[in-house]
Amino acid sequence: MQSAPAIQKLLDELERLPGIGPKSAQRVAYHILNSDRDDAIRLAQAIEEVKDTVRFCSQCFNYAEGELCEICASVRRDASVICVVSEPRDIPPIERTGVFSGVYHVLGGALSPMEGIGPDELKIKELMSRLVDDSVQEVVIATNPNVEGETTATYLARLIKPLGILVTRPASGLPVGGDLEFADEITLGRAMEARREL
Amino acid sequence: MQSAPAIQKLLDELERLPGIGPKSAQRVAYHILNSDRDDAIRLAQAIEEVKDTVRFCSQCFNYAEGELCEICASVRRDASVICVVSEPRDIPPIERTGVFSGVYHVLGGALSPMEGIGPDELKIKELMSRLVDDSVQEVVIATNPNVEGETTATYLARLIKPLGILVTRPASGLPVGGDLEFADEITLGRAMEARREL
């Protein structure tokens, strides 16, 4: 009513974003209205570009712009250690700790009988097929330290250990019940370094 | 480093928005990555559309899609009462109170000798030229209840009163030193209704 239709449309779209309520949406909308046209267009184009160019890495299922993600494609990464995470968003916090030089595998979730997510809904088959050649020495299972994450870790440990591969999990120290995504770098770095065998 | 370039670019653009820190930017970026392409494109297009279609109302300097904003163009509004605000973002909270049926005038700021903002930097000349015909009965000065806003209100009252026009200001009750933009509807509604002559 009080806003021009184009402004109302922008407000509606902004309010659909996570963590953005009506007041944040309004602040952001007025910021966009007040900013240089070039700045606003760069944001719009960044959104479109990310949807046009980003897909899943064919090896680890992280986000990737090519066939492989930057980590899988890098010759500097130690392919003999695979860190298993639930979601792509769990990778940046581990990368920021600087203590992990291996590669990743993104499950796309965690086991949850309550939500009907069983092994077939996750990229577990794809993980197992990465383990058939002898080059993998260790699998670090960095699923979230909550019920689903622990269940998933236990399930994977039982599958992988018989292959003679070391299976580890970041040390506790992560706040139990919390999300790995929001852990601070030092806590998470120490937890990664002190990871223990399952 | 850990993100694909397109994702990093999006994160950079999101972090430029007000109230969006690195963690919020990451949440929003992953939301966009996970959302339907159509949803993401709608957001991008809403941003572009707002920059392409929104300009300033030639009468009141609110945001507008045509020559006049929706309020100035409406026949239902009482053009004999003009509410003066600092910024376009101050209009929606007043509209939401539902107690004001007049029109607006956006100054584009407030007087601030500290920041070098004098009368010539604001749309004061344009306000005065709206008052020359006899139709305007009242000017409500709803600048923010802080130093700059009060200074501006006092300055405008001195200019306008000699024209024989009633000059009012929303009643105090607004938290002093705060921003009108963030006032709750009831407080602001009562303050508007109990506005007093300056």
Chain segment A138-173, per-residue pLDDT in tens: 999 999 878 899 899 999 999 999 999 999 988 766
Q: How far is CA A65 from the centre of its chain?
A: 15
pLDDT of residue A180: 67
| pLDDT at residue A10, rounded to an integer | 94
Q: Which residue has the higher pLDDT, B197 or A88?
A: A88
Query: Is-contact A86 A143, C-beta < 8 A?
Result: yes
Tokens of residue A162, six digits: 């018989």
Q: Find which of A7, A28, A70 to mutate to test the B interface (most B CBs within 10 Å of its CB).
A: A7
**Nearest-Cα residue of chain A relative to residue B63:** A4
First-to-last C-alpha distance (Å) of chain A: 59
Closest CA to B142 of B190, B94, B187, B108: B94
pLDDT given for residue A184 in this prediction: 72
Residues B191, B173: contact at Cβ < 8 Å?
yes
Alpha-helix runs per DSSP H in chain B: 5-15, 22-34, 37-53, 70-73, 91-97, 124-130, 147-160, 185-193
Rounded CA-CA distance B136/B133 in Å is: 7
Where is pLDDT greater, at A130 or A1?
A130
Q: How far apart are CA B22 and CA B141, in angstroms?
A: 39
What pLDDT, on a 0 to 100 scale, did the predictor assign at position A38?
A: 93
Q: Give residue-wise pLDDT tens across range A90-101.
A: 998 888 888 899
Q: How far apart are CA A30 and CA B122, in angstroms?
A: 19
CA distance B90 to B58: 18
> Phi then psi for A95, rounded to 5 degrees?
-60, -40
pLDDT at B133: 80
What's the rounded Cα separation, in Å, for the pair A66 and A197? 34
Q: Token pair for residue B134?
A: 């006899």
For residues A174 and A77, the model is more confident at A77
Of B50, B51, B95, the CB nearest to A1: B95
**How many of the other CB atoms lie within 10 Å of CB of B186?**
10
**What would the two tokens of residue B6 be?**
């397109």
**Distance of residue A47 Cα from the nearest chain B Cα, in angstroms:** 6
Task: Write down the pLDDT at residue A1.
Answer: 42
Partner-chain contact B9 A50, CB within 8 Å: yes
* Among the partner residues B2, B39, B91, nearest to A91 by beta-carbon distance: B2
**B63/A2 CB distance under 8 A:** no
Q: What is the pTM of this model?
A: 0.70
Q: What percent of chain A has a predicted confidence (pLDDT) above 90?
A: 66
pLDDT in tens, B138-191: 999 999 878 899 899 999 999 999 999 999 988 766 665 667 677 777 767 766
- Kindly report which listed range (A82-96, A123-137, A182-196, B117-131) carries the lowest average pLDDT score: A182-196
Return the beta strands (E) in chain A as ranges: 55-56, 63-64, 78-85, 102-106, 138-141, 166-169, 196-197
Q: Looking at per-residue confidence, does B145 or A7 come out higher?
A: A7
A-chain residues within 8 Å CB-CB of B182? Answer: 23
How far, CA to CA in Å, does B197 sit from each of A70, B19, B119?
66, 37, 22
Q: Least CB-CB distance to B6: which of A14, A20, A49?
A: A49
- Identify whether the C-beta of residue A104 lies closer than 8 Å to the C-beta of residue A62: yes
pLDDT in the model for residue B5: 85
The pLDDT value given to residue B1: 42
What span, in angstroms and rounded, lies between the C-alpha atoms of A149 and A156? 11
Q: Do B31 and A53 touch (CB under 8 A)?
A: no
Cβ of B46 within 8 Å of Cβ of A20? The answer is no
> Is residue A72's pLDDT more than 80?
yes
The rounded mean pLDDT for chain A is: 88
Distance, CA of B1 to CA of B148 (rounded, Å):
45
Task: Say if strands B78-85 and B138-141 run parallel, antiparallel, or are unpaired.
Answer: parallel
Report residues of chain B scoring pLDDT below 50.
1
Of B1 and A197, the one with more pLDDT: A197
pLDDT of residue A197: 63
Q: Min CA distance, A139 vs chain B (Å)?
A: 20
Phi and psi at residue B85, to the nearest 5°:
-125, 165
Give the separation between CA A73 and CA A59, rounded to whole angstroms: 10
Residues contacting residue B156 through CB under 8 Å, at least 6 positions apart: B84, B124, B127, B139, B141, B167
Contact list in B for residue A14 (CB cut-off 8 A) is 43, 46
The number of C-beta contacts closer than 8 angstroms across A and B is 166
Residues A23, A29, A30: CA angle, nearest 5 degrees: 95
Q: Of the spans A105-109, A114-118, A141-145, B3-7, which averages the highest pLDDT?
A: A105-109
Answer with the residue of higher pLDDT: A159 or A182.
A159
